[in-house]
Amino acid sequence: MQKKIPQRQCMGCRERKPKRDMIRVVRMTDGTVNLDFGGKMNGRGAYVCPDVECLKKARKSRALERCLETEIPQEVYDRLEKEMEAGSRG
């Protein structure tokens, strides 16, 4: 029997994809927002495809803010964009 692969929905394109292929943005219990590449941090999480276009859509619709129920700092968006651009080259 094949092992079930966990699926998550991207906040930008709204497509369901394997959890491992996505970037998790997590609101920690103290209210700070971080990127979680291991998928193990405690807190409420939202997922985005590692694609700059998906990030732009999520940002425009404020989907991450709604999902995490908090304001997302500019530094988090900047870091997300930097990680996506670095990943697309490698």
pTM score, two decimals?
Answer: 0.90
The pLDDT value given to residue 88: 61
The pLDDT value given to residue 25: 97
Question: What span, in angstroms and rounded, lies between the C-alpha atoms of 32 and 13?
Answer: 25
The pLDDT value given to residue 26: 97
Q: In this structure, what token pair is assigned to residue 21?
A: 């292929």
Other beta carbons less than 10 A from residue 47's beta carbon: 25
Tens of pLDDT along the chain (90 residues)? 888 999 999 999 999 999 999 999 999 999 999 999 988 999 999 999 999 999 999 999 999 999 999 999 999 999 999 998 887 654
The pLDDT value given to residue 58: 96
Contact (CB, 8 A) for 28 and 70: no
Question: What span, in angstroms and rounded, lies between the C-alpha atoms of 48 and 21?
Answer: 9
The pLDDT value given to residue 1: 80
The pLDDT value given to residue 5: 93
